[in-house]
């Protein structure tokens, strides 16, 4: 949580140490996974497999060592330790646990050497390249996990407890080999107390936002801030706005690296020009271009800026500087106009925090079982309580008393209904979105680049990736 980046989470944020969730930030230099080393046992997940039973449907062999590598960013790693404790009690071992923000640097040599850990929370800025790992056959296909009975209801398969987007996002071509555990809500975050005290209302459209920004600036407060060190945070909302206004089909063309997908989409022009206008009118907190994700969040929680683009991991990550009466909240995507292809209330809410099981690990069956434990209602609720984030388990938090930010995010998902957007581009091509497009966005928000040039170069970069045979391609 988050993130994707996270990213995705990926997450930074999801990536960078944000979902750490996102490595959340710092995805600039992504770690490529080792190309050496074998793909592990050729029998799909049968290494150290024991007898199956109603209570042990995957066939975990008791006493076999198990190792977990967990990204310790904005979500921490206690939630994983709690699930490991249940695993230990059931299978008579003590899971070897490592919490780290350097997943890639520590594990690349181990994959190359053929001795990877069994289960990995592959998040943060220094994450492993899952596309390469998958193409090399080093990831365990998790279909067996999806088809296993859930811990809460043996009559219901694990796959039936998850958001459908979790099943889509975890695929590399025909293999389901990534289990995104968190369910991150990306959007424009704000303090409900601040808006109430000032008599301001969360805008419903781009036009309303521009009008409110002018009012906010007159009150000697910055309308916006963002982590300029990791400008792809702005993409959390920018990309989703393009999909909301132009329609999912046209966004999928962008995900698929299709020719002219950026330049022929009127929604791209409208959205990027909106950010150009925010920059031209100096609606960003001065100095934002030099801030990390933590620094920008701190400026925001201290009331120096009203809005910030982020993921739902932010509540947990920014907790040390958030006043008790802050009233953290997230709003839906803004309307562009009457021609929008998706309705008001549309939100980007999607799986994040990627877990993988190494096929070449000592105990891949145990790795899948740990994931099955994490996907129980007990541990989904524990995750929500400890890190203030939703999981990919549908309805797990129903009836719970939630923190302000998580309650707002959960409410947004519920109101969004079927209008939940999932953006694949940052997951499939992080070097394109976080490095190339991130560099363009950095210039856009400082006023050093116009929207037209941003769009032209975005298409150029996308075309370069599409033609690069060394880049594994994916399609929706």
**Whole-angstrom distance, CA of residue 389 vs CA of residue 407:** 9
Comparing CA positions, the residue from 201, 187, 207 lying closest to residue 277 is: 207
pLDDT at 9: 37
- In this prediction, residue 447 has a pLDDT band, given cuts at 50, 70 and 90, of very high
Question: Both tokens of residue 5?
Answer: 């980046």
pLDDT at 277: 98
Q: Would you say residue 33 has pLDDT above 70?
A: no
Least confident of 8-12, 226-230, 390-394, 446-450: 8-12
Mean pLDDT over all residues of the chain?
90
- The residues, any chain, with a CB within 8 Å of residue 401's CB and separated by 6 or more, are none
User: Are 142 and 368 within 8 A, CB to CB?
Assistant: yes
**Whole-angstrom distance, CA of residue 359 vs CA of residue 43:** 9
- In this prediction, residue 15 has a pLDDT band, given cuts at 50, 70 and 90, of very low
Q: Would you say residue 8 has pLDDT above 60?
A: no
Q: Which residue has the tokens 């809005």?
A: 307
pLDDT at 243: 98
pLDDT at 439: 98
User: Are 67 and 95 within 8 A, CB to CB?
Assistant: yes
pLDDT at 3: 36
pLDDT at 75: 87
Percent of the chain with pLDDT over 70: 90
CA-to-CA separations, 53 to 147, 148, 154, 363, in angstroms, rounded: 14, 11, 12, 18
- In this prediction, residue 31 has a pLDDT band, given cuts at 50, 70 and 90, of very low
- 112-137 pLDDT, tens digit per residue, is 999 999 999 999 878 999 988 998 99
pLDDT at 74: 78
Read off the pTM: 0.81
pLDDT at 213: 98
Give the pLDDT mean for 202-216: 98
pLDDT at 48: 86
- 57-77 pLDDT, tens digit per residue, is 999 999 999 999 999 987 899
Q: Would you say residue 275 has pLDDT above 90?
A: yes
Give the pLDDT mean for 314-336: 96
Give the pLDDT mean for 40-56: 73
pLDDT at 44: 53
Q: Residues 108, 165, 139, CA angle at the centre, nearest 5°?
A: 25
Least confident of 11-20, 83-92, 98-107, 290-299: 11-20
């Amino acid at each position: 949580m988050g993130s994707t980046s996270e990213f995705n989470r990926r997450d930074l944020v999801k990536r960078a140490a944000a979902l750490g969730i996102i490595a959340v930030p710092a995805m600039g230099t992504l770690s490529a996974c080792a190309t050496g080393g074998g793909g592990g046992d050729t029998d799909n997940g049968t290494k150290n497999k024991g007898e199956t039973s109603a209570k042990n449907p995957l066939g975990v062999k008791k006493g076999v060592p198990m190792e977990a590598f967990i990204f310790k960013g904005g979500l921490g790693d206690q939630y994983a330790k709690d699930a490991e404790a249940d695993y230990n009690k059931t299978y008579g071992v003590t899971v070897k646990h490592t919490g780290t923000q350097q997943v890639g640097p520590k594990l690349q040599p181990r994959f190359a050497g053929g001795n990877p850990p069994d289960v990995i929370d592959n998040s943060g800025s220094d994450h492993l390249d899952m596309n390469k790992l998958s193409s090399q056959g080093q990831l365990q296909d998790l279909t067996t996990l999806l088809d296993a009975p859930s811990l809460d209801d043996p009559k219901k398969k694990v796959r039936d407890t998850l958001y459908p987007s979790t099943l889509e996002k975890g695929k590399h071509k025909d293999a389901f080999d990534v289990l995104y555990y968190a369910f991150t809500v990306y959007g424009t975050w704000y303090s409900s107390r601040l808006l109430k005290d000032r008599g301001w209302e969360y805008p419903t459209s781009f036009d309303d936002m521009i009008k409110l920004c002018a009012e906010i600036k007159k009150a000697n407060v910055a309308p916006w801030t963002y982590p300029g060190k990791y400008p792809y945070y702005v993409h959390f909302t920018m990309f989703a706005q393009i999909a909301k206004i132009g329609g999912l089909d046209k966004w999928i063309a962008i995900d698929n690296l299709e020719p002219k997908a950026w330049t022929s989409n009127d929604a791209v022009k409208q959205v990027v020009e909106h950010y150009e206008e925010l920059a031209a009118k100096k609606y960003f907190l001065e100095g934002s271009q030099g801030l990390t994700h933590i620094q920008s969040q701190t400026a925001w929680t201290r009331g120096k800026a009203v809005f910030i683009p982020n993921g739902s991991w932010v509540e947990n990550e920014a907790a040390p500087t958030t006043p008790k009466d802050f009233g953290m909240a997230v709003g839906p995507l803004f309307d562009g106009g009457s021609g929008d292809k998706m309705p008001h209330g549309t939100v980007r809410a999607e799986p994040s925090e990627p877990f993988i099981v190494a096929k070449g690990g000592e105990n891949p069956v145990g790795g899948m079982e740990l994931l099955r434990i994490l996907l129980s209602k007990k541990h989904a609720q524990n995750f929500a309580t400890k890190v203030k984030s939703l999981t990919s388990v549908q309805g797990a938090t129903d009836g719970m008393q939630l923190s302000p930010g998580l309650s707002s995010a959960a409410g947004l998902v519920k109101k969004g209904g079927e209008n939940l957007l999932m953006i694949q581009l940052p997951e499939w091509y992080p070097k394109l979105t976080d490095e190339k497009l991130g560099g363009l966005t950095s210039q856009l928000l400082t006023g050093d680049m116009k929207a037209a040039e941003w769009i032209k170069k975005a298409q150029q970069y996308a075309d370069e990736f599409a033609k690069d045979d060394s880049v594994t391609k994916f399609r929706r």
